[in-house]
Chains A and B, each alone.
Chain A
Amino acid sequence: MAFKPWNSNKRKMQLVSLIDMVFILLVFFLVTIFIVREPREEMRLAVPTPENKPGRAQILIQLLPSDEFFMIDESAMPVVESVFRDVENRFGYLSVQNLQQKKKEVVFRVLTERFTYPAEQLSHKIQQLLNKANRSPNEKYFVLIRCPDEVPYARVIEVIEKLSQAQYNNVIYGCVGGSLEEIRNCKQIRIVTEIDEKGIKRDNLWITF
């Protein structure tokens, strides 16, 4: 009589099934990931509302209808000072009012010639600003974005999207409506020496509408 061994029906590990299960899990997670990704998520982007007072900013970005943009920061100050000195030397005979007007016209022309850039340079310029902001995490940089009426608002969002990539969240932005023509027709462009809340003296460019 032959008896089957007592532990003949001891279970062996089902390796094939184990591998099968692992693959099923893999497929499961792959499928769920792709389902979650499609369609693309909507996000909320908060932008401060404007207020009726002069807007202080470290950088001004004026979007133009022609896909270009005008961007000035503290590096424009020496240019403005030099233009003012030059105009005072050449047109010193004019009355105070006319001299102011002349300064405004010439400075506007020089600034727009020197600081207007094609759209392709926007990323590069903003990256330079972000690099500067990332080097000084304790400094706050406020960027004022002005957009003409006829320009699609998506261009503003594009600028904001780039600005919000600052490593230390020290680049703050605000957007208002406005055109380059408004700056050209402003009442006055002048340099005013002011002491800020930290006691630092600065030459600020005032554009008064």
Chain B
Amino acid sequence: MPFVRKEDLKDMELPSLIDIIFLLLIFFLVTYSFSEMGEETGPARSIFDLPEALGESPVLEEEVLRTLLFQIEHKDSKDIHSPKVVYALWPSLSDSITLSQALVKAREDSSLHAEFPDGFLQLPDEEFQSTPPCTLIANSIARYKARYFHNVSVTNTIEIRAAKDTEFRIIDFIMDCCAAYQDTIPRIVFHTLATQGD
């Protein structure tokens, strides 16, 4: 009687399985990331011209807006001589709104953005403070403070996200508006890019 050998049991090739899983994972990670970088959800964060500094905490991509934020940029991001525009970005209590979503909304709503006039640096203080962007800034801070900042707290902050070449006069005006409420708004938070080499 001929003996029939049982078939060799096929053992699982574990390393090969893991190889394939990781290869697939890497493939999907890389393709997902590249596709996200190409997406236009607003101005690409990586090209916004922020000054460099190491701050207190990182801002993750597409993070929910935490407080009133003023974004100051050139009207035409490719032309550094174009006038500066300020956008007032309001957070939302009911649904989380990200910075880019708020920016899109502010661009569409004329009550949430205003352009600085040419030669605003030479204007005397009273005239400068009555320009539309300064009025927008002052009113936004006043409304936001009335709604959300009831007590003195170090966590009451207003954020500024401004192009590197934004003149200090604009920043100074925002700081003065906050200073009018004494210790109620004790700090302003600047968005900066992490310094090179970190």
Contact = CB atoms under 8 A, between A and B. Distances in A.
Indicate if A touches B (C-beta under 8 A).
Answer: yes
A9 B190 CA distance: 67
Contacts of A152: 164-168
Contacts of B193: 40-43
Interface string A142-154: 0000011111111
Contacts, number: 170
Interface of B: 5, 8-9, 11, 13, 15-16, 18-19, 22-23, 25-26, 29-30, 33, 37, 44-46, 50-60, 121, 157, 159, 162, 164-172, 175-176, 178-179, 182, 185-196
Interface residues of A, number: 47
A148 B95 CA distance: 40
Contacts of A160: 53
Given A17-B19, A35-B30, A35-B33, A46 B189 contact: yes
Given A28-B25, A45-B189, A157-B51, A40 B167 contact: no
Contacts of A41: 58-60, 193-194
A27 interface: yes
Contacts of B157: 46
A24 B175 contact: no
Majority SS of interface residues in chain B?
Answer: mixed
Contacts of B26: 24, 27-28, 31
A49 B178 contact: yes
Nearest to A1: B3
Contacts of B5: 4
Contacts of A156: 168, 171
B92 to A, nearest CB: 20
Given A153-B167, A157-B192, A46 B187 contact: yes
29 contacts: A17-B19, A21-B19, A24-B18, A24-B26, A40-B46, A41-B193, A42-B194, A43-B194, A44-B57, A44-B192, A45-B54, A45-B55, A45-B190, A46-B55, A46-B187, A46-B188, A50-B179, A147-B168, A150-B168, A152-B165, A153-B167, A153-B168, A153-B171, A156-B168, A157-B53, A158-B53, A161-B52, A176-B175, A177-B172
